[in-house]
Amino acid sequence: MKFIKSVIHEMTLVTWPTAKETRRDTTTVIITSLIFAAYFALADWVILLLLKAFVF
């Protein structure tokens, strides 16, 4: 029971993000994911071209 009371008390101390902060953070994650996806797709394509030119 002490654990549950402790959790409830701790949850009252949490500062939750606003809707604006959540949108900003979500947008940042999506854009970063797209940039990394594009980077790895380009790197994969370049490596494939090099392998086709020199190995296959």
Predicted confidence band at 56 (pLDDT cuts at 50, 70, 90)?
Answer: confident
Q: How many domains does the structure of the chain reveal?
A: 1
pTM of the model: 0.70
**Is 55 a residue whose pLDDT tops 90?**
no
Q: Which domain holds residue 47?
A: 18-56
9 inside domain = no
Q: Is residue 47 part of a domain?
A: yes
Which residue type occupies 38? Answer: A
Under DSSP, is residue 33 helix (H, G, I), strand (E, B) or coil? helix
Q: How far apart are CA 27 and CA 11, in angstroms?
A: 26
Confidence of residue 42 (pLDDT cuts 50, 70, 90): very high
In a domain, 55, yes or no: yes
pLDDT tens digits for 8-40?
999 999 999 999 999 999 999 999 999 999 999
